[in-house]
Amino acid sequence: MPYQPSALRLEREAARRRVSRHSTLIAIISTVVIAAVLVIVVTGAPGFKLVRQSFFSWHYAVTSFPHVLSGLWLNLRVMIIAEIFVLIFGLLIALARTSRSPILYPVRLLATIYTDIFRGLPLLLVLFLVGLGVPGLQISWITNSAVVLGTVSLILTYSAYVAEVIRAGIEAVNPAQRMAGRALGLTQSQTQRFVILPQALRKVTPPLLNDLVSLQKDSGLISVLGAIDAIRAAGIDTAQSFNFTPYVVAGALFVALTIPLTRFTDWLTRKQDRARVQQGQW
């Protein structure tokens, strides 16, 4: 006999539908009211017309777009190279800091000093010290290029942050895991590679991707050394026209660049949560 829902079930489903429709309606009304209030407050401000012309002028958005886009290409290149090296060096430094063998003590000490220094120095300072100081030493085989030295500064600074994040992940793994690995006959490095690190990296994926999103923005700071990135290109156009719309265009492009990474982070964490629930592991 085909399944026939009971009257009680039908009644319950109808009630649930009613409640959800009610909620949707209230959500729509609330959104419209708040949006209307914001629009009235902003457009009613006495300087609104001037701000709209200065920051949201369509004419300047169109004329500055090609220049800003070509600058964004530099941001992309720096970002990708820097991200790869930051992850590699961050992992190495984190492993150095969490090593236990007494032979590696100097390496551990160096790694601690490194993270302390480069988390303490502002990125702008590192950019000037490396970008202007290193070429000043006039060592012939070190390049003078602003882009290369700027990327190196980014890598130096961000590796320190990422190393600390990964180290936090490694230390957050339950110590029983290490003991279990050793009990199964795995060596220290095998335990680290096959048991600890996969769990550690899975734990710290959100903060790690957060640091990478921050790196995307800071890739523009190499413009203090002369390279023309998206923000600098916008600045040049702004200085020539005295109109700030190019900066808004650059901002919009950066947001568009960041959204794939943030959506990817959300999807990854949701997938991991689902896997964890399925495995019965909290």
- Return the residues of window 166-225 that contact other proteins according to CB under 8 A: 223-225
Closest CA to 81 of 198, 206, 265, 222: 222
Three-state DSSP string of 8-52: HHHHHHHHHHHHHHHHHHHHHHHHHHHHHHHHHHHHHCCCHHHHH
Among 19, 28, 34, 51, binds other proteins (CB under 8 A): 51
d(CA 167, CA 133): 31
Q: How far is the CB of 232 from other proteins (least distance, A)?
A: 6
Q: Does 45 bind other proteins (CB under 8 A)?
A: no
Q: What angle do CA 257, 119, 225 make, to 5 degrees?
A: 60
Q: Does 67 bind other proteins (CB under 8 A)?
A: no
d(CA 276, CA 212): 24
Say if residues 198 and 192 touch (Cβ distance below 8 Å).
no
Among 135, 199, 202, 269, binds other proteins (CB under 8 A): 135
Q: Does 123 bind other proteins (CB under 8 A)?
A: no
**C-beta of 205 vs 241, nearer to other proteins:** 241
- Return the residues of window 223-252 that contact other proteins according to CB under 8 A: 223-228, 232, 235-236, 238-244
Residues forming the site for other proteins (CB under 8 A): 47, 50-51, 53-55, 128, 132, 135-136, 138, 144-146, 223-228, 232, 235-236, 238-244
